[in-house]
Structure 1
Amino acid sequence: MNIDRIVSLVAKLFVLLSVLLSVYYNQNWLWFTGFVGLNLFQSAFTGFCPLAKILKTAGVEPGKAYE
């Protein structure tokens, strides 16, 4: 599994988790959903993603997006 797939998987899990937490616990968890979305949005333009940088340092194989 490369960095692109891991970043996509983690982002989807965070969005799903935060939406479920907002439904069953507190609506303020939707701020976390927005943060994840904004981070993905800026990553599309700048190529910078904190998780991708961490994974690259850990030695995970980079994909096309985060080379």
Structure 2
Amino acid sequence: MVKNYSISRIENTLNSAVVFIDELNIYLTIDKKELPSSLRFDTDTRITPNQIPDNAPIKHFMISW
């Protein structure tokens, strides 16, 4: 996804990483179980796009307008 679209921001929540792609007006959530263990229990750490595995399944997909 990083190769095709520009990620606007990633929010680190209690159970998920919320990835915003403003150019498409969407956001999606990735379960923290799919992230490296150092990110799973910390909501203060900044998550970068390269820390999300390419094969991580999307938990939720939302379109905004």
**TM tier, smaller:** under 0.3
Whichever of the two has the greater Rg, that structure is 1
What is the TM-score normalised by the length of structure 1?
Answer: 0.22
Structure with greater proportional helix content: 1
Higher relative contact order (CA 8 A, sep 6+): 1
TM-score, normalised on structure 2? Answer: 0.22
